[in-house]
Amino acid sequence: MEAFLLAFLVIVVGIQGLWAFLGHYFRSDEIAAFIGWPADSPFQKEVAFGNLAFGVLGILCLWFRGGFWIATAIGISVFMLGAAIVHVKDIRETQNRSPGNAGPILWTDILTSLVLLVLLALYFL
């Protein structure tokens, strides 16, 4: 269980967070179009740094354990579930069904958070 949770934190939170940072920061307009949102928004850069922060935390899970894992998992879950809420609200209000808004990313935000929190509970409880 420990090895799987560690791999999940490092790969799914860490590496994915770094990858998301690169997209939101260096390809902001393309990512905005994929989501169905307007280009040239400074919020893309802010989201990029949020992803970078969680990416770094995920990678640091290689060296820090215990409460650090708990904080990392809860933090990324709040971030991802919050993003899912924003996507669902956008779908309802504007019928934005772009792949980056209503597609796999929405489900990944929800499922990743749920899997991570279940793994965390199984490991620490």
* Burial class for 108, CB neighbours closer than 10 Å (0-12, 13-18, 19+): middle
Q: What is the pLDDT of residue 85?
A: 98
Residues (pLDDT < 70) of the chain are none
What is the pTM (predicted TM-score) of this model?
Answer: 0.93
**CA-wise closest residue to 53 among 12, 17, 24, 83:** 17
DSSP 3-state of 97: coil
* CA–CA distance, 19 with 91 (Å, rounded to integer): 25
